[in-house]
A and B are shown apart, each in its own frame.
Chain A
């Protein structure tokens, strides 16, 4: 049976809220299945999603969340893979381009900003899932978060390049860089198998694929920049479109 748009939205928000609150995946699946079942019965009798939430999804989800424990083991299980993947995102591209050298500043600052970024996004999604923000407000908050993160990265890059004498840690030979790049690629593949999704393969391909390909063709630096950035943006747009179409198909069933 098909649920109303409001109910589907409520279930999606419920999953998002509980996941970003660090609850157990299996328990989340169980309760969302149970509430879906309930909503089907309720809607077939002419009731709305308000009959479940009592009119306030926020209060209801907080109440539900307080009965579910924080899944420490679940998080400990994903953490190593996540750290490996993030490290691979940072290193693989540089290794392929052949400029694998990091200053002391960037080795400390990039992971800190990344951690801050990940925590901010999770927090944003958590707040968004129970809020009644307008689309405009949601976009403004998201863009502010993205702006702060990008500015922080740029600030480090700027400091690194112009102000501080980069304290280069270690510049490996070209052969070692290929080994590092291969290890990074292996991590992406392992990440895809582990998460059962293509994202950890598609996104790195878009990020480093053009650089890799241009190793073998003769192009100017400008052409290279244009090709790699347009591949990235067009690719990301295609991924978004794919997700959008897939979602629409699912809710349309």
Chain B
């Protein structure tokens, strides 16, 4: 797995987590990610990931009228996406636990 693929996987997991908290759209997802401290993500990079997640059936979308004019695409999690998110959390816990142990040992 290349490092960019790993980052994509993490971004996908984070987006699943954001969408799980309630129906949302692209720009709002960026704002929510930022509120958790994510700064390094280029804003556009969420869209290819959202496309893939939709293809895999993790999320579904609807177009709704927005106050600013054009219709806005809102995303919600599917049951499959819910399951994927639970699995991501397990994988992430394991990974972050291992990385933390490694890095902290190095510091000591």
A34-B26, A37-B27 known; A52 vs B44 contact (CB < 8 Å): yes
Tell me the B55-108 residues at the A interface (CB within 8 Å).
55, 66, 68-73
User: Inside 8 A of A66's CB, which chain B residues have their CB?
Assistant: 48
Tell me the B10-69 residues at the A interface (CB within 8 Å).
25-27, 42-45, 47-48, 51-52, 55, 66, 68-69
Contact of A42 among B25, B43, B51, B71 (CB under 8 A): B43
Contact of B70 among A37, A47, A68 (CB under 8 A): A37
In the complex, given contacts A36-B70, A37-B27, A38-B27, what are 9 additional A-B residue pairs having Cβ atoms less than 8 angstroms apart?
A: A33-B71, A38-B26, A38-B43, A42-B27, A42-B43, A51-B44, A60-B44, A60-B45, A66-B48
**A240 interface hit (Cβ, 8 Å):** no
A33 touches B42 (CB 8 A): no
Interface of A, helix, strand, loop or mixed by DSSP: helix
Interface size class of A (residues with CB under 8 A): 20 to 34
B interface, CB within 8 angstroms of A: 25-27, 42-45, 47-48, 51-52, 55, 66, 68-73
Q: In the complex, A208 Cα to B66 Cα: how many Å?
A: 49
User: Inside 8 A of B55's CB, which chain A residues have their CB?
Assistant: 67
User: Inside 8 A of B72's CB, which chain A residues have their CB?
Assistant: 37
A53 touches B42 (CB 8 A): yes
User: Inside 8 A of B44's CB, which chain A residues have their CB?
Assistant: 35, 38, 51-54, 60
Q: In the complex, A52 Cα to B42 Cα: how many Å?
A: 6
A interface, CB within 8 angstroms of B: 1, 30-31, 33-38, 40-42, 47, 51-55, 60, 63-64, 66-68
B70 touches A54 (CB 8 A): no
User: Inside 8 A of B70's CB, which chain A residues have their CB?
Assistant: 33, 36-37
User: Inside 8 A of B47's CB, which chain A residues have their CB?
Assistant: 31, 34-35, 38, 64
B27 touches A41 (CB 8 A): yes
A67 touches B42 (CB 8 A): no
